[in-house]
Amino acid sequence: MKQSLYDQFIERYGASNQPVRTFFAPGRVNLIGDHTDYNGGLVFPCAIEYGTTLMIRPTESLSYQLASTNFDLIAVLSADQANRKYGDHWINYPLGVLQQFVARAPLDGGFECLYSGNVPNGGGLSSSAAIEVVTAFAINSLFDRKLDLLELVKMSQRAENDFVGVQCGIMDQYAVAFAQRDHAMQLDCQTLDCEQIPLTLGDYRIVLINTNQRRELSESKFNERVTETQQALEILAPVSGASQLAHVTPEQLAEHRQRFEQQPELLKRATHVVSEQQRVRRAVEALRNNDLARFGELMFESHASLRDDYEVSSDALNTLVELAAGTQGVLGARLTGAGFGGCTVNLVHEQQLQHFEQSIGDAYQQRTGLSADFYQITPSQGVRELHT
């Protein structure tokens, strides 16, 4: 019989008069609009039902104990060790958040916590943001810091940027925190204006396929892409007046293509960001008009841009999208998240789900030697405390 998470917590930390509280933050999938967030653009994510559960209990000692059911590494830290980093391990995500709190004001106690996640690790579904946001939400509640949810989101992003070292935008943390069930959000990552859009998909379902091709963002070309888009903006800003690359219009980019003659790769990066901004708008409009076929076309277009102009795809991701395009009942498919591995997101008719999984799974293994995992997902709720 599988041991409950509570039993595992008590087995690790022992009994106490203090209550054990439970919090949950979901992962997220971005339906369209990738690599636009750190360029001030639009994104369209929803939360998924998979995520990170955190059990936490206050202690009188000024020490922080962190453990996970998913990884062996544990940490026991004093308050003055809160800025210690552990190589490239998972524990840096909660430690980065803890550092954000301690930098504001010392906590008036310690805590014991146990994380347990079922988001595919390295799948591009924001397992890191789920850890960060659930940590921030729990510490805020445990120590009655009274910070609002948006501030917790910003602290979580800073933890990943400044402590972990990945220069991500705010999309992942925002989506994990503010998601609503059965909705996706059109989020402007510059202004943080957000509109919750009902995901009315009729007979179609969202299916994620994990390539099981691992990638580590801090060791990948992610930060390189951030730098390249900043350089592209420096070239375009004087003639466009744009303060963010996503605010450059397609007409402005076309008019000033010659400015990239010596750096053609920067033109490709800018082309993706500018065109992806337009695709998000068109995708949301298609969804409002119940035009799922058009939504699916835009998903395919987005993948082609990420593959050819932004160059963040991989052979495994391309294979899955190519196979999906040739499978009956599929309206759209694209890589989701940062790329370089991870998952694709697919829009599949419910009557074709079994055929979709079997045919693509078999063909993918034959072509790549990798075994894909399939997840049918339901748009889920954001971070919250669980009451039993």
Euclidean distance between CA atoms 94 and 101, whole angstroms: 11
pLDDT in tens, 326-383: 999 999 999 998 888 899 999 999 999 999 999 999 999 999 999 999 999 999 999 9
Q: Which residues contact residue 80 at a Cβ distance below 8 angstroms, ignoring those fewer than 6 apart?
A: none
How buried is residue 128: exposed, middle or buried, by Cβ count under 10 Å (0-12/13-18/19+)? buried
Mean residue pLDDT across the chain: 94
Annotated catalytic residue: which of 34, 37, 172, 309?
Answer: 172
Eight-class DSSP state of 202? T
- 157 versus 85: which is more confidently predicted? 157
pLDDT in tens, 6-35: 999 999 999 999 999 999 999 999 999 999
The pLDDT, as a whole number, for residue 42 is 98
Eight-class DSSP state of 380? B
Res. 2 pLDDT band, cuts 50 70 90: low
Res. 72 pLDDT band, cuts 50 70 90: confident
Q: Which range has the worst mean pLDDT, 164-168, 197-201, 226-230, 347-351?
A: 164-168
Q: Is 172 a catalytic residue?
A: yes
- 264 versus 61: which is more confidently predicted? 264
258: pLDDT strictly greater than 80: yes
pLDDT in tens, 92-133: 999 999 999 999 998 999 999 999 999 876 677 778 999 999
Strand order from edge to edge, sheet including 194-198? 42-43, 183-188, 194-198
Res. 215 pLDDT band, cuts 50 70 90: low
Strand order from edge to edge, sheet including 384-386? 75-78, 63-68, 110-117, 45-59, 21-30, 384-386
pLDDT in tens, 245-254: 999 999 999 9
177: pLDDT strictly greater than 70: yes
- 130-159 exposure pattern, b = at least 16 Cβ within 10 A, e = fewer: bbbbbbbbbbbbbeeeebebeebbbbbbbb
Percent of the chain with pLDDT over 70: 97
The pLDDT, as a whole number, for residue 122 is 66
218: pLDDT strictly greater than 90: no
Structure tokens at 126: 């924001």
The pLDDT, as a whole number, for residue 89 is 85
Closest CA to 295 of 274, 280, 275: 280
